[in-house]
């Protein structure tokens, strides 16, 4: 049974339809990517998956209908979204940001401290900046903090919205390396990216979205060699 299954979902802002009859699945342990140009409705899709904007259709987690659950309940179920704008707590320290990442967990101090140590092992920079305010970090460090904070929640499904946005190429590569390495934790990832090549190289399965609809889908390794996609999204030799 799929960890996340989105069935025939539509999102509209007033009369404008941002997402039209989209269905997709994320299996356990899989990295799934949705690629497509600006304004294709990718962010709206993630935002409705976490329950921040209403939609029609059905969203299921492990077969259970969660369409009517609020965002906080979905977070408690193990969903975690790292939005495009990161949404860090700028005036709070790196430590407090990470600690609040584990807010919905109820498994005790020791387990949370252990997760924090794991985050530091993955992002040694965060440990150096522990007492610094999140707002004073560089762009790359902020993205690391956003990822670290998300991992503190021990999510079942991690949803990443444009994790490479606004980052230097070298840091982008580092971020994708980290995303790929999360596979060993058994966390499923739904990744949204404009950097299609990097996304498809990381993912197991890919969907292509255009003006609110899914126009292609398939195993990432197949999509990356698809001539139709190469000309539209992969032509310029991204990354």
Partner 1 sequence: MNSQIAAILTIDGIASGAIYVLIAIGFVLIFAVTRIIFVPFGDVTAFTALTLASLEGKQLPGTIGMVAVLAALATLMEIFGLWRADELKRIPRALFFYLVLPLAPAAVIWLTSGTLLPAAARIVLTVAVILPIAPLLNRIVYRPIADSTVLVLLIVSVALHFALSGLGLLFFGPEGVRTESLIDYTAIIAGTPVSGQAMLIVASAIFFSFLLYLFFNYTLYGKALYATSINRTGARLMGIRPQQSGTIAFLVGSLMAAASGILIAPVNTIFYDSGFIIGLKAFVGAIIGGMVSFPVTAIGSAFVGILESFAAFLSSQFKEVIVFSVLIPVLLWRSYTLVHAEEEDDE
Residues 104-143 that bind partner 1 (CB under 8 A): 104
* 149 forms part of the interface with partner 1 (CB under 8 A): yes
Least separation in angstroms between residue 68's CB and partner 1 is 6
Return the axis-axis angle of helices 139-152 and 108-122, rounded to nearest 10°: 150
Residue choice 20, 21, 25, 99 for contact with partner 1 (CB under 8 A): 99
Residue choice 36, 41, 101, 212 for contact with partner 1 (CB under 8 A): 101
* 81 forms part of the interface with partner 1 (CB under 8 A): yes
* 52 forms part of the interface with partner 1 (CB under 8 A): yes
Return the axis-axis angle of helices 139-152 and 94-101, rounded to nearest 10°: 30
* 89 forms part of the interface with partner 1 (CB under 8 A): yes
Residue choice 26, 46, 50, 160 for contact with partner 1 (CB under 8 A): 50
* 88 forms part of the interface with partner 1 (CB under 8 A): yes
* 153 forms part of the interface with partner 1 (CB under 8 A): yes
User: Residues touching partner 1: how many (CB under 8 A)?
Assistant: 26
* Closer residue to partner 1, CB minimum distance, 82 or 220: 82
* 189 forms part of the interface with partner 1 (CB under 8 A): no
Chain contacts with partner 1 (rule: CB under 8 A) = 47, 50, 52, 68, 70-72, 75-76, 80-81, 83, 87-92, 96, 99-101, 103-104, 149, 153
């Amino acid at each position: 049974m799929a960890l996340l299954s989105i069935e025939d979902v539509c999102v509209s802002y007033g009369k404008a339809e941002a997402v039209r009859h989209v269905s997709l699945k994320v299996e356990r342990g899989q990295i799934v990517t949705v690629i497509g140009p600006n304004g294709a409705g990718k962010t709206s899709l993630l935002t409705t998956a976490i329950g921040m904007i209403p939609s029609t259709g059905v969203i299921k987690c492990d077969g259970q209908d969660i369409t009517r659950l609020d965002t906080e309940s979905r977070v408690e179920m193990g969903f975690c979204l790292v939005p495009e704008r990161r949404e860090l707590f700028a005036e709070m320290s790196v430590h407090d940001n990470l600690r609040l990442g584990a807010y919905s967990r109820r498994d005790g101090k020791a387990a949370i401290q252990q997760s924090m140590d794991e985050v530091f092992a993955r992002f040694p920079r965060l440990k150096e900046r522990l007492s610094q305010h999140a707002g004073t970090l560089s762009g790359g460090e902020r993205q690391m903090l956003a990822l670290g904070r998300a991992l503190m929640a021990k999510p079942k499904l991690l949803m990443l919205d444009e994790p490479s946005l606004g980052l230097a190429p070298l840091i982008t590569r580092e971020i994708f390396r980290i995303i790929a390495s999360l596979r060993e934790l058994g966390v499923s990832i739904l990744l949204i990216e404009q950097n299609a090549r990097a996304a498809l190289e990381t993912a197991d399965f890919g969907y292509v979205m255009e003006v609110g609809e899914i126009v292609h889908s398939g195993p990432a390794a197949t999509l990356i060699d698809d001539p139709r996609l190469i000309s539209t999204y992969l032509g310029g030799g991204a990354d």
